[in-house]
Amino acid sequence: MGVLDFVKPGVVTGDDVTKVLNYAKENGFAIPAVNCVSSSSINACLEAAKKVNSPIIIQFSNGGAAYMAGKGLDNKDQKAAVLGAVAGANHVHSLAEAYGVVALVHTDHCAKKLLPWLSGCLEFGENFYKKTGKPLFSSHMIDLSEEPHEENVKICKEFLVRMEKMKVTLEMEIGITGGEEDGVDNTKVDNKKLYSQPEDIELVWENLSSVSKRFTIAAAFGNVHGVYKPGNVRLRPDLLGDFQKHIKEKFRLSSDKPVTFVFHGGSGSDSKDIETAIKNGVVKMNIDTDTQWAYWDRLRCYYEENKDFLQSQIGNPKGDDKPNKAYYDPRKWLRECEEGMIARIEVAYKHLNCVNRN
């Protein structure tokens, strides 16, 4: 039994997204959600997913989406970020099935000032839905964790109403995840705010479940975006278990894990904490910092190993007239980057207990 018993390879959308996430929750694994900025990183994700025989979540941050469109394109009114996310999503739609991979396409952190980006993506999604009968994106994230809770939930609810018409899943964040993400700096916030309260999750559940069952929550349990010196904040994935219990009792639900959680800022977490998070209903973990490093690190090694062949177009230790094209061809060194990224994604799959889940 695996994911391919109930969904087909390709981009999964609508009810299939819920099925895949629930299957992960029931079977004790989480799916890596990898931030992509180019066709090179998207292909690395697809290749990694194919290698481990498990689903993948390919996601675009606002900056990553704009980069996807090209730095030369004006991003006025989020135009480049919208088009880049759409281009990235289309790239996955074109290739995932051929790879035999179950892929979810997602847009990452969208703060209040970036909401026009989400609206733009939804507009493309709605047109795509009209034409094809299926959504362009599997899910979108709204991050209003910096706003007052009531406003956060109210805006999320409004967007969820719009998204429910296409059966698109919403990921929302409540409570502050420390660290820095796309220019939002939370490195100095009060430690108390780094832990969500049961009442926060209740507020989200009460409001969003009246609109749709298609939502996931990034709760704060001491997690930090990016890699920082450990020690300042303690990770408390056990809190997620308390939240589940609270929601189950408060709303008299039969499931022990009614809430579907996602894990932000998981870079550098130890495996015990990841295990506890998954046990308590985490089905998605964001991976960005570590794959960025892996992509770069492999290039660094490649350069060090082949330095003498990378100083000029012609001329190396084998002769002054010997060409170096085979070394500086982007397909050569970008491939190295991809292989580094693939290897790191495979590590993430193992941490998330997500190997051979198809």
The count of chain residues that interact with Zn ion, using the rule CB under 5 A, is 3
- Give the other-Cβ count within 10 Å of 309's Cβ: 18
Residue (of 183, 188, 176, 173) closest to 218 by Cα position = 173
The catalytically annotated residue of 108, 200, 273, 290 is 108
Is there a contact between 136 and 104 (Cβ–Cβ < 8 Å)? no
Part of the chain binding Zn ion (CB under 5 A), chosen from 85-93, 175-183, 204-212, 272-280: 175-183
Closest approach, Cβ 143 to Zn ion, in A, equals 6
Find the binder of Zn ion among 41, 138, 177, 197 (CB under 5 A).
177
Minimum Å distance from CB 197 to Zn ion? 17
Distance (Å, whole) CA 75 – CA 121: 14
Each residue 53-92 as x (binds Zn ion by CB under 5 A) or -, in order, gives: ----------------------------------------
Q: Which is nearer to Zn ion, 134 or 264 (CB)?
A: 264
Q: How far is it, in rounded angstroms, from Cα 341 to Cα 37?
A: 13
Q: CA 162 to CA 167: how far, in whole Å?
A: 9
Contacts of 75 (CB under 8 A, 6+ apart): 66, 69, 81
Residue of the chain from 264, 284, 351, 357 that contacts Zn ion (CB under 5 A): 264
Q: Name the one range near Zn ion by CB under 5 A: 149-157, 165-173, 192-200, 336-344.
A: 165-173
Distances 136 to 80, 194, 327 between C-alpha atoms, Å: 17, 33, 38
Within 13 A of 257's CA, how many CA atoms are on the CB side?
A: 23
CA dihedral over 154, 157, 161, 163, signed as positive or negative: positive
Q: Is 108 a catalytic residue?
A: yes
Minimum CB distance to Zn ion, residue 203 (Å): 18
Cβ neighbours, 10 Å, residue 167? 18
Tokens of 303: 């350069």
Which is closer to Zn ion, CB of 23 or CB of 243?
243
Least Å distance between CB 109 and Zn ion?
Answer: 6
CB of 99 to Zn ion, least distance (A): 28
Residue number of the CB closest to Zn ion reads: 264
249-257, 260-268, 336-344, 345-353 -> range binding Zn ion (CB under 5 A): 260-268
**Nearer to Zn ion among residue 126 and residue 146 (C-beta):** 146
Q: What is the nearest approach in angstroms of Zn ion to the Cβ of residue 184? A: 9
Instruction: Return d(Cα 16, Cα 61) in angstroms, integer.
Output: 23
Of the two residues 157 and 264, which places its CB atom closer to Zn ion in the complex?
A: 264
DSSP 188-243: TS-GGGGB--HHHHHHHHHHHTTT-S-EEEEE-BS-EES---TTSS---THHHHHH
Task: Decide whether 16 or 143 has the Cβ nearer to Zn ion.
Answer: 143
Q: Which is nearer to Zn ion, 48 or 174 (CB)?
A: 174
Active site residues: 108
Residues forming contacts to Zn ion in the complex (CB under 5 A) are 173, 177, 264
